[in-house]
Amino acid sequence: MAKRPATIPDSELDVLKVLWERGKASVREVLETLRSAGREWSYATVATLLDRLETKGVVASDRSELAFVYRALITPQEVQAKRLNSLVEKLYEGEPGLLVLHLLKSHSLDPKQVSEVRAVLDEMTKESKPK
């Protein structure tokens, strides 16, 4: 199996999202789902993207039927972690705190999220204090 890529382009991510949602799907089913979401891709485009994802080891195909059926081998959480790590490295010089500060200053949170952030920060503060 090929090494899983550090990043997945947005077009491939769109295809992966369909597989995560459906569990497994043929090229035609992925295409229909993407078209219903407003993507005007061709069958060949979707087939190419699935082939690339399979080459990267991110999806697998069952070729026992007439139409290949694909399923994701990577979870949404794995993709999120890889994309986030890449973002921190490329835009924030490897400093995750800078990303967090940027997000907190530029995006509002609902009260529940504010409480969760405070709890995480409180926990981090307790762990870093000498005993």
Residue 61: its pLDDT value, please?
Answer: 96
Residue 16 has pLDDT above 80, yes or no: yes
- Domain coordinates in residue numbering, the chain: 1-91, 96-131
Q: Compute the half-sphere exposure of residue 114: CA atoms within 13 Å on the CB side of its CA.
A: 6
Our measurement of the distance from residue 39's CA atom to the centroid of its chain's CA atoms, rounded to an integer in Å, reads 18
Residue 2 has pLDDT above 50, yes or no: no
Element (H, E) at 69: strand 69-72
CATH numeric code, 1-91 = 1.10.10.10
Element (H, E) at 64: none
The Cα angle at residue 51 between residues 1 and 10, in degrees rounded to 5: 100
pLDDT bin (cut points 50, 70, 90) of residue 67 is confident
Q: Compute the half-sphere exposure of residue 54: CA atoms within 13 Å on the CB side of its CA.
A: 15
* Model confidence, pTM: 0.78
